């Protein structure tokens, strides 16, 4: 279990370091997550220790939404004032996401059928 925690903290630290030195516009944890995923793809799998830590974290993932819910309640007047813009942005982003996913899926399926 300690080995899995060390792996997660190592990649997050690398992400923070890269964020501070090279890419200040990207958050360090995001860079670390991308590096971890790339590392796992190169290794072609997840080791048992990392899987155990990830399973443990996923059990408590719902707790991460508590601060977001408090923020929603705290800024409820601003959200009500800008409800139309927020709803428009959400609906538009969902439509664009579905459309771009369909285009990518179609392009990948055509490429697979030609091979």
pLDDT tens digit string along 53-81? 888 888 888 887 788 888 888 888 998 99
> Dihedral of the CA atoms 70, 73, 28, 42 (nearest 10)?
80
Compute the distance between CA of residue 48 and CA of residue 37 in angstroms, rounded to an integer.
16
Burial 16-27, CB ≥16 within 10 A → b, else e: eebbeeeeeeee
Q: In this predicted model, what pLDDT tens digit does every residue of 82-96 receive, in sequence order?
A: 999 999 999 999 999
Compute the distance between CA of residue 63 and CA of residue 46 in angstroms, rounded to an integer.
25
Q: Which two tokens stand for residue 18?
A: 């890269």
Q: Which two tokens stand for residue 100?
A: 């771009």
- Model confidence, pTM: 0.57
């Amino acid at each position: 279990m300690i080995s899995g925690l060390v792996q997660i903290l190592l990649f997050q630290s690398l992400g923070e370091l890269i964020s501070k030195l090279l890419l200040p516009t990207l958050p360090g944890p995001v860079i670390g997550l991308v590096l971890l995923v790339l590392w796992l793809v190169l290794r072609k799998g997840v080791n048992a220790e990392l899987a155990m830590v990830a399973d443990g974290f996923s059990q408590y993932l719902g707790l991460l939404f508590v601060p977001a819910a408090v923020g929603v309640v705290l800024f409820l007047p601003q959200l009500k004032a800008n409800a139309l813009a927020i709803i428009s942005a959400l609906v538009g982003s969902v439509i664009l996401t579905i459309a771009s996913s369909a285009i990518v899926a179609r392009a990948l399926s055509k490429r697979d059928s030609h091979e």
